Amino acid sequence: MKKMIIASTSTVHGSSYLAYLTPTLKVHFKGVKELLFIPYARPGGISYDEYTAIANKAFSKLNINVKGIHEFENPKEAIKKYEAIFTGGGNTFELVNQIYKNDVLTTLQEIINAGTPYLGTSAGSNICGVNMMNTNDMPIVYPPSFTTLNSIPFNINAHYLDPIEGSTHMGETRETRIKEFHVFNETPVLGLREGSWLEVAGNTITLKGNHTARLFLQNQNPKELESGVEVKL
């Protein structure tokens, strides 16, 4: 049975890395002693070692040791042997590029479907959807495919932002860009606001956190989902 936390962000304003998720992670990773971290997204271009150290510091508060997938010669075998997996945020294009380069997409799908606890934040959440086509990131590299884990039957738009009333900004809103996506694609999209996350237990997907989420379906008006409700398409 799938056991996933799919979070819009790793850090909310005014708090430390993963702090707002700590109560949830205590339950989600109960009994886990060591976790495998996938640092491929490299936020700000930092190194894998630097990124893994950030994750390790956060999880040390839960008495969980963190090892980076880059520390292993065989990343597939590392994924299979670990008790839990965390994929951090950063650039989704580079994350997906490295997932394909290291040929670990199918292995990740298998262990998630088998019930290995998974945490994704930002880019690590974007890859949980059908594909990565609703990321906000710049295409700094060209991955072999946009197809991702398909662990949930819709795409994630992490860090979803509502239009700012009175703003003179002339660029497209997130809603406009998702509508553009739906001209050519049927895949539903969930706009996940900062501080919100999805809890996946088997085939049940529940919105958590203090905010609503915005669900976009092709040729339909967007729907606001209240925290605590099951996400149904």
Q: Does the annotation mark 125 as catalytic? A: no
Catalytic-labelled residue, pool 10, 28, 70, 122: 122
Catalytic-labelled residue, pool 10, 137, 151, 196: 137
H, E, C per residue of the chain: CCEEEEECCCCCCCCCCCHHHHHHHHHHCCCCCEEEEECCCCHHHCCHHHHHHHHHHHHHCCCCEEEEHHHCCCHHHHHHHCCCEEECCCCHHHHHHHHHHCCCHHHHHHHHHCCCCEEEECHHHHCCCCECCCCCCCCCCCCCCCECCCCCCCEEEECCCCCCCCCCCCCCCHHHHHHHHHHHCCCCEEEECCCEEEEEECCEEEEEECCCEEEECCCCCCEEECCCCECCC
Q: Does the annotation mark 196 as catalytic? A: no
Q: Does the annotation mark 162 as catalytic? A: no
Query: So which residues are the catalytic ones?
Result: 122, 137, 159
